[in-house]
Amino acid sequence: MLSGARRIVVTVGGNALVRVGEEGRFEQQFKRAQELAALLSKIPSDIQLILTHGNGPQVGRILLRSELCSEDVPTVPVNQAVAATQGQMGMVLQQTLVNQTHRPTVTVLTQVIVDESDSDFLKPTKPIGRYYSEEDAQQRTKDFGWVVRQYGSRGWRRVVASPQPLKIVEYKAIEQLLDGGFTVVACGGGGVPTVIRDGHLLPVEAVVDKDRSTALLAHQVGADILFSLTGVDEVQLDFDTPQARTLRDVSRQEMREYLEAGQFPPGSMGPKVRSALQFLKEGGSEVVITSPELLGEALEGKRGTRIR
């Protein structure tokens, strides 16, 4: 299925390195990165590769440490926590990719332009960090200026803005690295949200959705195929019901109809499907959604949900 492809993007969630039930120790994350890199080594060497990744568990730990140490050191802004995870996770992925694929690899600290007038800044929607009791959540609102929201019986969480990404600042540098033979790790955690004010780049307190920024990057660098690696082997209709049906080979129009019919909720498959459709609308040839474990079979066209 890679016939004719020159440049592909593979994106993985932050849980690819920290699995449920694991403490997230460095040794564990390095082992998970080795497993991922071994799968990516199946990609033919003549195809240029960009890897993007989520950072939910990792950035959550940085923010928790910052909160616990707030009496002794200044707290870390969310955008700086995202930048830190780009470097930390990028180094792990960079080393394991070189070891497994034998391709020169570089991590690009990536900025993503957003609009200061984006409505999400007025009504933040992106939950980050752990759950709190109502009393603890309100105290943190007072102490740190957080915006918090209740999530049913599980408790309260901090929410931050998740504005629409408009441009990847470093996309031309990424293109030059690809043309120079490098594999590139980029857009970690969705990229560092950045606004332009009076002609200057400035950081802003927000989190950009990783799938949206990945689709944007894939478009800007002219990628042919986007592989979205997630927690399911294939996308299903009527997911988690007795009527569940697996989707293998679907058109962009079919997928949009399923999305509009409510098949892919915002809190699960919805963002991935929307980002896939946006990439295809802007010129991409196909998107494959599958689990990391099945990437090898997906590269051969045997598994995964393929949207054309």
Are both 105 and 143 inside the same structural domain? no
Distance CA 201, CA 206 (A): 15
Beta carbons within 10 angstroms of residue 260's beta carbon: 9
Q: Judge whether 2 lies within some domain.
A: no
Q: Which amino acids are annotated catalytic?
A: 14-15, 126, 210, 272
Are both 190 and 254 inside the same structural domain? yes
Question: Which range of residues forms the domain containing residue 130?
Answer: 126-160
Q: In the chain, where do the E strands start and end?
A: 7-12, 48-53, 105-107, 111-113, 126-132, 147-150, 156-160, 167-168, 183-185, 192-197, 200-203, 225-229, 236-237, 245-246, 249-250, 286-290, 305-307
Sole residue written with tokens 């109809």: 257
**The token pair that represents 200 in the structure block:** 């200057």
What's residue 25's pLDDT?
Answer: 87
Are both 142 and 90 inside the same structural domain? no
Residue pLDDT, tens place only, 255-297: 999 999 999 988 789 999 999 999 999 999 999 999 988 999 9
The SS3 of residue 234 is: coil
Q: Which of 133, 211, 109, 123 is nearest to 159 (CA)?
A: 123
Half-sphere exposure (Cβ direction) of 294: Cα atoms closer than 13 Å: 18
Are both 196 and 282 inside the same structural domain? yes
Q: Which helix (H) or strand (E) holds 171?
A: helix 171-179
Are both 100 and 138 inside the same structural domain? no
Sole residue written with tokens 């949009």: 256
Residue pLDDT, tens place only, 168-218: 999 999 999 999 999 999 999 999 999 999 999 999 999 999 999 999 999
What's residue 3's pLDDT?
Answer: 67
What's residue 24's pLDDT?
Answer: 79
